[in-house]
Structure 1
Amino acid sequence: MRKTRLSLMLAAGLGTLVVCQTPLVLAQAPDATTAQAGQDARFAQVAESLLMRALERSPEWSVRAGRYDNASLLTIPDAASRASDLAFAEAGLAELAAFDPAQLSASQRIDHTLLKNRFESTRWYLQTFRDWAWNPSRYNVAGTIALLLNTPYAAEDERLRTVMARLEHVPQYYAAAQANIADPTVEHVELAIVQSRGSLSVFGEELRQRIAASGLSADEQALFIARIDAARGAINGWTGWLEGEQKRLAAAGETRSFRIGEALYEPKFRYDVQSHYTAAELYQRAVDEKNRLHAQMDATTVELWPAYFPDSPMPDDRLERIGRMIDKLSARHVTRDEFFPEIKRQIPLLTDFVREHDLLDQDATRPLVVRETPEYMRGGGAGASISAPGPFNPTADTYYNVSPLDAYSDAEAESFLREYNHWVLQILNIHEAVPGHYTQLLHANKSPSLVKSLLGNGAMIEGWAVYSERMMLEAGWGGQAPEMWLMYGKWNLRVVTNAILDYAVHVLGMRQEQAMDLLRREAFQEETEAVNKWRRVRLSQVQLTSYFTGYAEILDLREQRKAELGDAFDLKAFHNGFLSYGNAPVPAIAELMAE
């Protein structure tokens, strides 16, 4: 990887285990537990060394993990960097191959699996998937710099000097990015343009004011300003080149499809999700779950109908009557101006509910900061998200990013607010905040295994957030009102149809009109939400399946533990135990909990 190196950290050698077996003298045979402990200790040394070396090689990953000793370095995404990454992955696999996972304890066996998956995935992405060559939205320097500026991990002047050092090679970074891109997709070019324009906000007047108010010398300030101007020039040059590509692609007619096809989809699903399902199996389970939810929601609709439509007969078609009931209820929502304040208002109420019902451990010392989504993060189709600190800086703020509605017309805003109506907005806050992503990631940062915390499994993370929605309603949030359960069904259909949509679009060739029918008629989504989801499925692959995969696996695990433990099953103990294993895949956590 091309960057100036900092000398670092651990150089762990790979020990050799020699076991002498003398069958005729049984008393001299090594104790199995002692032998395994020694093997575990040797593997733990190698695993930590691999992890720390990987962090050293990627300052950007290091910063996200809360580690800043190489934060002044900027990775240049060129061919030399990719060759170095591939060589490191191959060497890592060779080090892991020296250990037989069957001879390791359960926890270490999972770490071995996670590290192996990481290196095999790196190799596959570099050599086979090759999105570095067709997805220009991969390239953006703003995110890491914004983290450094907004995270008080050191004194202001030290952080500013770190940012100044990173800025030095920004023109080189975008030159390498431009050299990489060949045959991009129209969709990813559009996203890269939006996000690149947004990234300029990180290098705007606010940063100049901070520099002027700092303790940096006059020469340092002048150098900093010059590097900001050069970085802005490089970003504008990159954006201008992308706009040229956009025009070229529009004129070309035939362009690269955003659909990746089955040959790439199945291995991407395997590496990204790490489920016991194949992608095709998960798709079928999602189709079955959609039908089950329709039946359940129809029963609730029939129950509610006399109260909301006393003078209207129910339609014969169940999707039509469910849709009419949802449409009626969706009229209850906050105004455009109330949307952001209402989210902030609900967070402490959710926190109190979790505590009063003793559902899982929380940490009152780690508040959640609700903010508008930074501009450089907008444009990908997600209206809300969580930005959490890594395990090396666990006391840093966690941000709940909420995209403002400023860009929406009145009609678009109304559609959006109907989607996030009185009931659904509560479920969104459960998912993103308490006890969803925010709470889970607090637990993950306390896991004793850095491997499990850092090599985060998206299906586990998203699955927990989806599971927490159902768990909170089961515990009584919403007062068991049928309206809340109906809207939960609509929300849960989003998770299910995410999985259906992603596979159907990328593997089965689903067209836009078919996708909109699935989202609007079968999942009862508002026009704005459906349009955003169609945009999102064209910009990502597999990630939309992670919600349902993780949710289904967590729910299955909970019911399995209930059956095994009977009256001894304790919900809070299950939750705390599950969350204690960091961000490991759900099948791995199930194995650890069983042992």
Structure 2
Amino acid sequence: MLLRSTLCCAALLLVAACTARTGPGPAASASTMASTAADAEYARFTREYLDAYYAEHPVRATRLGLHLYDTRLPDLSAEAFQRRAQALHGWLARLERLDRSALTGDAVFDVRVLENALRAELLALEETREWQRDPMFYNGTIASGLSSLSQREFAPLEERMRGLMARMAGIPAVVASARANLRDVPKPWAEQALRDTRGTVGFLRTDLPKALEAQGLARVDGALRQEFSAALAKATAEVEGFARWQEQELLPKANGDFRLGKALFEKKLALEEHVELSAEQLRDINERAIREYQAWVAKEAARVDAWKSPVEVMDALVHDHPKAEELIPTARKQLEECQRFVLEKGLLTLPSERLPTVRETPPYARMGFASMDTPGPFETRATEAFYNITNVEPGWTEEQKSQHLTYFNHAGLLGITVHEAMPGHFVQLLYEVRIPTEVRKVFTPASVVEGWAHYVEQMMVDEGLGGGAPAVRLGQLRRALQRHARWHAGLSMHAFGESVEDAAKRYAEIAYFEPFPALREVQRGTFNPTYLYYALGRMQILKLREDYRRYLEVRGQTFSLRDFHDRFLRLGLPVSLARQALMPGDTGPSLE
């Protein structure tokens, strides 16, 4: 999971680069310069749109590495959301007047993505309406707004402290908006939001002061330190009050339905991931993949112990895990091993040999098991990346701790390291500078981000990672089935009305999971309905790779895995459009 913008609850969309430099975004490169009147008009449009986007989403701008709005939190009032929706209708009307047939170069692809981006945000504002139903949205804005200024040293500490104080001063308005806007909140969302908000309180009390102390707080002017301390105390009290309100007033009344329904599920997936398939088609594709992967599991399990069932073999595999205190050191060692493997096999070109910092997931960000927290594509100074691993919680029972650690079994942790770091999300970060347009750098579909990271899990084992050991292959297959279990959970709950309990039971069966982590995964699906994008993206990339191989062979050209990977990462396009960029004239489906 890529953590860069999850705390903001920002939509994963796309926009485009341009020529004129009027706002905080980077100037266009020569490859994006307008060559027709339509190109020039489109460039003006995207520049104006992006400038407006950054101003409307100041926390996202900070995460992207653009620091013009570091002192602001967004206006989350109902009136602000209504104004945003009206503005989006205006942007769309203007975009529809553009002569797309006269566009050239990158704009040919980006304009199609841009329309989806506008419509996807409008869908979120007017139809799914998370701003009225999701308390995590408000806590995420607070947490991300502060962590984005404290985690990386992109500016002098004094400057960032002033930005932090300015954003802290905006917390009461965010909390007031949450209290005014939220209604019909689903219970699983309210429960997760309360956990997250308590985590933010812990961040304010402990993690934030520690981070600033490590960055030289003692050397800051005493008057500024005192002012900051007062602001921090006030902000902490405000978030504590927000948590009490959630616990005492919001949670007891949380009886909303989290389900999108079939039509909205299909529309959301089509706009955000450029995949236009019906819920029934998606279900059939997933069930077929589950059968194929479970048959593969049975074959590999027989290599381990022919006398035991696949479930028994998998159960033994997942219980072979590091102790809690060994998780981080083990992941560090695996990270170095994966980098050596990529270089020795020549699987892709690594733009840099640097590696991310492996650490325990900060308390305020413990939504999943592991994540990669990367700097924004426009960050030039504080370019650290963090590979986060969520360890056990002190308050859990011994049984819960044991079940949680099964996810980090030795073979599984190796795959997680591949996914999050090498050559997964971290390598995607290294390639961002090579993506040709500002649009694609700002907003990338989840099926590209998570799809690539999930794809390389299988690709690395296919290419020999683990030396052919069945345990390593079984670990990779279990993670694949985990993603297909997510596919089932999100689709079945939101499009077909399955209960959380039944989805969790089916999840455990598909992915060989223990009940406790299976339930946590399914609870995520209540508020992340299209988290099928992991497996969806992997399947699309695998199909593209084989179709591209045949495309080259027909033309007498040689396919190279390194070349395919390098080209795909540089494009930064949804797979359906990457197909057309790599294979001009292609009309084949990205998934079937």
Q: Which residue of 1 aligns with 2:374?
A: 388
For 1:242, the equivalent position in structure 2 comes to 246
1:241 to 1:547, Cα distance in 2 relative to 1, 3 A = same
Tell me, yes or no, if structure 1 residue 523 matches structure 2 residue 511. Answer: yes
**Which residue of the partner structure matches residue 591 of structure 1?**
580
Contact 2:191 2:251 in 1 (8 A): no
The verdict on how the C-alpha distance between 1:279 and 1:435 changes in structure 2, with shifts beyond 3 A counting, is farther
TM-score (normalised: structure 1): 0.86
Structure 2 SS opposite 1:525: coil
Change in CA separation of 1:456 and 1:138 when aligned onto 2, cut-off 3 Å: same
Local SS of the residue matching 1:580: helix
Structure 1 residues 200 and 278, CA, compared in 2 at 3 Å: closer, same or farther?
same
* Identity value in percent: 27
The verdict on how the C-alpha distance between 1:570 and 1:77 changes in structure 2, with shifts beyond 3 A counting, is: same
SS of alignment partner, residue 370 of structure 1? strand
Map 1:331-480; keep pairs closer than 5 Å: 331-364=319-352, 366-378=354-366, 380=367, 382-393=368-379, 396-407=383-394, 408-480=396-468
Q: Provide structure 1 residue ranges, at least 5 long, that are not aligned to the other structure.
A: 1-7, 13-33, 315-320
Equivalent residues in 2 for 1:11-26, closer than 5 Å? none
Structure 2 residue runs without a partner (length 5+)? 1-19, 25-32, 585-592
Aligned: 1:497 with 2:485: yes
Residue of structure 2 equivalent to 1:275: 275
* Inter-CA distance 127–385: structure 2 relative to 1 (3 Å threshold): same
Q: Structure 2 residue aligned with 1:330, among 275, 296, 318?
A: 318
Tell me the SS of whatever aligns to 1:337. Answer: helix
Tell me which residue corresponds to 1:570: 560
Partner of 1:10: 22
Would the aligned equivalents of 2:64 and 2:378 in 1 still touch at CA under 8 Å?
A: yes
Counterpart AA for 1:224: F
Distance 1:291 1:201 in 2: 44
Equivalences for residues 87-166 of structure 1 within 5 A? 87-105=86-104, 107-140=106-139, 141-166=142-167
Task: Spell out, residue by residue over 1:276-331, the C-alpha distance to the aligned partner (whole angstroms, 9 max, x if none).
Answer: 4344322221111111112222223334334xx4xxxx6xxxxxx21122123334
**Which residue pairs with 1:554 in the alignment?**
541
CA spacing shift, 1:495–1:156, aligned 2, 3 Å = same
Greater Cα shift, 362-371 or 550-559? 362-371
Distance 1:589 1:205 in 2: 44
Report what 1:256 is aligned to: 256
1:215: which partner in 2?
A: 220
The Cα of 1:568 is off from its aligned counterpart by 0.5
Local SS of the residue matching 1:323: helix
SS of the aligned residue for 1:338 comes to: helix
Question: 1:204 corresponds to which residue?
Answer: 205
SS in 1 for 2:372: strand
1:43 maps to what in 2?
42
Other structure's SS at 2:305 match: helix
Larger radius of gyration: 1
The structure-2 alpha-carbon separation of the partners of 1:50 and 1:76, relative to structure 1 and needing over 3 Å to count, comes to closer
Query: Aligned partners of 1:500, 1:205: CA distance in 2, in Å?
Result: 38
User: Could you say what secondary structure the match of 2:166 adopts?
Assistant: helix
In structure 1, what is the equivalent of residue 587 of structure 2? none
**2:532 match: secondary structure:** helix
Q: Could you tell me how far apart the structure 1 residues matched to 2:118 and 2:290 are?
A: 35
Shift of 1:208: 5.3
Q: 1:328-383 CA distances to partner (integer Å, 9 max, x unpaired)? A: 333422222211211122111111111111111223364301121111112x3x11
- TM-score using structure 2 length: 0.87
Query: Matched residues in 2 for 1:156 and 1:586: separation?
Result: 41
Asked if the contact 1:106–1:591 (Cα under 8 Å) also holds between the matched residues in 2, the reply is no
CA contact (8 A) 1:276 1:587 kept: no
Q: Identify the range of structure 1 (149-158 vs 386-395) with the bigger mean alpha-carbon deviation.
A: 386-395
Are 2:581 and 1:581 equivalent residues in the alignment? no
Q: Does residue 177 of the first structure (1) align with residue 164 of the second (2)? A: no
Distance 1:79 1:512 in 2: 31
For each residue in 1:391-433, what CA deviation from the matched residue of structure 2 results, as whole angstroms up to 9, or x when unmatched?
1105511111111213343322322333322211111111111
Matches within 5 A, 1:282-293: 282-293=282-293
> Which amino acid is 2:229 matched to?
I
**Conserved? CA contact 2:35–2:104, under 8 Å:** yes
Instruction: Assess if the C-alpha contact under 8 Å between 2:58 and 2:73 holds in 1.
Output: yes
Cα separation, 2, equivalents of 1:206 and 1:493: 35
Shift in alpha-carbon separation, 1:9–1:75, aligned structure 2, 3 A: farther
Q: Partner letter of residue 262 of structure 2?
A: E
Distance in 2, matches of 1:176 and 1:512, equals: 29
Offset at residue 528 of structure 1 (A) = 3.2
CA contact 1:114–1:451 (8 Å) conserved in 2: no
Q: Partners of 2:345 and 2:482 in 1: how far apart?
A: 27
Distance across 1 between alignment mates of 2:154 and 2:517: 37
Separation in 2 of the partners of 1:88 and 1:410? 52
> Between Structure 1 and Structure 2, how many residues are aligned?
546
Residue aligned with 1:385, SS: strand
Q: CA deviation at 1:246?
A: 4.6
Q: What CA RMSD, in Å, does the superposition of the two structures yield over aligned residues? A: 2.4
User: Given the superposition, is the C-alpha separation of residues 512 and 203 from structure 1 closer, same or farther in structure 2, using an over 3 Å criterion?
Assistant: closer
Which residue matches 1:232? Answer: 236
1-structure distance, mates of 2:455, 2:209:
44
Letter in 1 for 2:144: G
